[in-house]
């Protein structure tokens, strides 16, 4: 993830290092410190993170909470880095492998990009 500082801008421009894939993968998120879990759905996914939409009607603002996302038979460890009206933005502790990303996208009715030679 690179930050760019244009000459006359006050805020850094964020550019994403990994491609986001739209998906619909049912799962749950566990707040590891409190051992509280919420059912929901991953709505987009990249190697470095995901957006998780809980089934709750009201989202509490969270940031910096350690979490474990459980979806499609995988347990992904990460941290909540943002709360938006869409859900919780999660950055994974370790980037997803090609195999895990393909498995999740196959389970989530998303298109897996063709591998380049």
Identify the residue with better confidence: 74 or 57. 74
pTM of the predicted model as reported, rounded to 2 decimal places: 0.76
110-113 long-range contacts (CB < 8 A, ≥24 apart) are: 110/21, 110/22, 110/23, 110/24, 110/45, 111/21, 113/19
Q: Is the residue at 8 inside a domain?
A: no
What is the domain extent for residue 94? 14-107
- Comparing CA positions, the residue from 31, 103, 91, 96 lying closest to residue 65 is 31
Q: Provide the CATH number for the domain around residue 61.
A: 2.40.10.220
Give 65's DSSP letter: -
Q: Is the residue at 96 inside a domain?
A: yes
Q: Is the residue at 73 inside a domain?
A: yes
Q: Is the residue at 45 inside a domain?
A: yes
For a pLDDT cut of 90, what percent of the chain falls above it?
A: 61
- Give start and end residues of each alpha helix (H) in the chain: 98-107
* Count of structural domains within the chain: 1
Q: Is the residue at 100 inside a domain?
A: yes
């Amino acid at each position: 993830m690179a930050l760019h500082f244009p000459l006359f801008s006050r805020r850094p421009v964020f550019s994403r290092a990994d491609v986001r894939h739209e998906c619909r993968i049912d799962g749950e998120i566990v707040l590891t410190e409190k051992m509280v879990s919420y059912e929901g759905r991953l709505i987009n996914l990249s190697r470095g993170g995901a957006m998780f939409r809980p089934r709750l009607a009201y989202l509490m603002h969270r940031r910096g909470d350690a979490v474990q996302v459980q979806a499609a038979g995988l347990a992904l460890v990460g941290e909540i880095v943002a709360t938006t009206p869409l859900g919780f933005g999660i950055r994974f502790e370790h980037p997803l492998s090609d195999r895990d990303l393909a498995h999740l996208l196959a389970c989530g009715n998303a298109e897996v990009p063709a591998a380049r030679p």
